[in-house]
Chains A and B, each alone.
Chain A
Amino acid sequence: MAVAHTGYFTPMKPPKFDMLRPESLGQLVGILDADEDARVISGGQSLMPMLNFRIANPPVLVDISRLSELRGIELEPGSGLRIGATTTHREIERSDLVKEHQPFLPYALQFVAHVAIRNKGTIGGSLAHADPSAEWPALCLLCEAEVETASVRGCRRLRIDDFLVGTFATNLEPGEVVVAIRFPAWNNQRLWGFQEVSRRHGDFAIAGAAVWLERDATSKVTAARIVVFAVEDRPVALHEVAESLVGKVPDERHFAEAGRLAASTLTARGDLHASAEYRSELVEVMVERALCQAVYSIHKGKS
């Protein structure tokens, strides 16, 4: 049998796929509408490993990384930020606009993998991938961000807690793509904390917590938000635990109690990396530490 020679030895590890490169958002949604098996590739930092392992086998990839209309960080009226879906983690981490208007994000983004991954990976890609252990879904939930999507049917805006529906599962409809993430204005008086445990720096979290507190002139907590991630099938905002701190001038005892309450509220999953019991103990410690970090560390309001 004749063997076709290309003249090169070229190992092909990912499965065969076609690659389309639309030049506008209009073209992109047209392609996604026409072929429901087409899969969007942005930075590729989650999809490429899945292709290399052949866990994913999409017939068509649609490359959105060069669509300039999906990239960039803009200040919205009222000091909110709109971040384009293909903006990289590193661009967001180093943005002066983000440092000023969402001071908590650059700190937390240092926990996302490593610099070389953050140089390629994108906010929209991470959200659409919806890994429960990833930082972005949790950060968006803490900030009460909205996900802006587009399809041939038009644009939608989804609250982050409506967007995330489970492990690697979102409310994106067939033919729909994440276009941008909108962060409402951040109160710069907020105290915030971010904690996660992973086997090595840059690995996915085994458990993590992100919190903010607002206090009045007498240090009494007036509002709080606590998000735990990598524990259930998506990040969870623990409203009752946050509410338990409101009206108090909390100290370490209250934070430890909030940690215990958080652990008892959640049903931790067990996997290769950690048993459910261990994760549950980590929740307690992560929430307590994140609250202590918010109140006692230097990471206040503006970093």
Chain B
Amino acid sequence: MKATFSVQLTVNGRPVQEEVEARLTAVDFIRERLQLTGTHVGCEHGACGACTIMDGDKAIRSCLELACRLDGARITTVEGLAERDVLTPLQQAFRRHHALQCGFCTPGMLMAISALLLENPQPDEAQIRDTISGNICRCTGYVPIVNAVLDVTGSAQPGVHHA
């Protein structure tokens, strides 16, 4: 049995080279090996969305991927969004709209929505709700999250509550 695999990838623009065991999941690789603990581990079977990261421009579940298959990948985690202390417009909108309470789902929400905005900078409410349908939040009731996205895309009507 081959003990380890050598993987070379970029994580948040930084080149990474590591030896990984075949069964190491991407999320444990990111959290435990790279010490990037912004990505959360929730259900570990793809249902909750807390571990969502970006592989290239696409959102994926890092609990359903193996680190050894990330060779050559360009990975972005929640730590890769802000430039130093300057939050992205989406993160700022989350703050303004109180789109997080406990914060457990927030990294996954931000990554899923950031991938959506790369593909479609002007999503409508239905598309936003479809995208975050794979991310479970037990605090907010989703309304402030949807409002934050509508705000950042300029689609929100001032004073209108998007229930």
Contacts and interface: CB of A to CB of B under 8 A. Distances in A.
Nearest to B131: A115
Given A61-B22, A200-B133, A201-B133, A44 B1 contact: no
A113 interface: yes
From DSSP, what is the main secondary structure of chain B's interface residues? mixed
Contacts of A173: none
A19 B66 CA distance: 10
B61 A120 contact: yes
B22 A11 contact: no
B134 A120 contact: no
Interface stretch (B44-52, B95-103, B137-145, B148-156): B44-52
B33 to A, nearest CB: 6
A119 B59 contact: yes
B45 A52 contact: yes
Contacts of A110: 130
A90 B60 CA distance: 12
B110 interface: no
B65 A120 contact: yes
Contacts of B115: 115-116
A2 interface: no
Given A10-B28, A11-B28, A117-B61, A44 B66 contact: yes
B21 interface: yes
A12 B64 contact: no
A49 interface: yes
Interface footprint category on A: 20 to 34
Contacts of B28: 10-13
Nearest to A61: B22
Interface string B104-131: 0000000010011000000000000011
Given A48-B64, A114-B134, A120-B60, A12 B21 contact: yes
Nearest to A20: B2
Given A15-B23, A90-B58, 11 more contacts: A10-B33, A16-B22, A44-B66, A48-B65, A51-B23, A52-B44, A52-B63, A65-B69, A116-B61, A117-B61, A201-B133
17 contacts: A10-B28, A10-B32, A10-B33, A11-B28, A11-B32, A12-B23, A44-B69, A49-B45, A52-B63, A53-B45, A90-B58, A114-B131, A114-B133, A116-B112, A117-B134, A119-B55, A119-B60
The 9 A-B residue pairs with the shortest CB-CB distance, nearest first, are A114-B134, A49-B45, A19-B22, A48-B64, A116-B59, A14-B23, A119-B58, A18-B1, A201-B133
